Homo-oligomer: A and B are copies of this chain.
Amino acid sequence: MTQKTKRHNDPALAEARRNQVLCAAADCFRRKGYHGAGMAEISKTAGMSAGHIYNYFASKEAIIESIVERDMEEMFSIFKEFADKPGDRVTVLLDGLDRGVERHTDLSQGALDLEMLAEAARNEKVANLLRESDSHARDSMRELLVGERGPLQGTALEEVNARIEVMFSVMGGLLLRKMLNPDLDINELLKALRPTMKTLLLPFE
């Protein structure tokens, strides 16, 4: 791969190079941990000089920021898809459950997510990035659930927030399940997960 590629002139090429760095960095963070993966390692994995990488990302922090942003964009496009689907929200969300489970039991994505979470426990900047992204995700989910009923207040707001916490807890917990039980049967899991999610989406008795 030539290191002398003309930069910034071609936006598509610049985007491809940025992606090349993000994929290499994700790979290094998984293998060595965020802390253990230096720019030299990322540069070697990406097949680009460190100098070339610095044209796109000022630091390792800028790289992880972009990884979190990319995940957020993916998440927003899924929420938008759900919002655009006709039919009641409960059916739309239950129909989308398979896809959510698939995303959250992908071991390669899961390893990166776990590494970012472990790093967040000791790195306030990474923690803030993930918290901001999570806060946006909760907002999107609340909007999807509440919809035209307009902004909630008081007890109703607290209740929907608590339900979202439990939903996110189940889905986030799936990252751990596939890692801890390699024999996990996704189809069997879905049979128990669907009624659980239904409980969270319908009014409590």
Contacts and interface: CB of A to CB of B under 8 A. Distances in A.
A65 to B, nearest CB: 16
A191 interface: yes
A93 interface: no
Contacts of A161: 185, 188
Interface stretch (A44-52, A53-61, A80-88, A172-180): A172-180
Interface of A: 30-33, 35-36, 107, 110-111, 114-115, 117-122, 127, 130-131, 134-135, 138, 158-159, 161-163, 165-166, 168-177, 179-182, 184-185, 188-189, 191-193, 195-196, 198-200, 204-205
B179 A174 contact: no
A168 B184 CA distance: 12
The 3 closest A-B pairs by CB, nearest first: A173-B173, A169-B173, A111-B121
A195 B199 contact: yes
A188 B165 CA distance: 10
Contact of A114 (B118, B138, B165, B170): B118
Contacts of A121: 30, 107, 110-111, 114-115, 179
Contacts of A135: 181
Nearest to A108: B121
30 contacts: A30-B122, A31-B122, A32-B122, A33-B33, A111-B121, A114-B117, A117-B179, A131-B182, A134-B180, A135-B181, A138-B181, A158-B185, A158-B188, A162-B189, A162-B192, A165-B177, A165-B181, A165-B189, A166-B170, A166-B196, A169-B170, A169-B173, A169-B176, A170-B196, A171-B173, A172-B180, A173-B174, A175-B176, A196-B199, A199-B199
A195 to B, nearest CB: 5
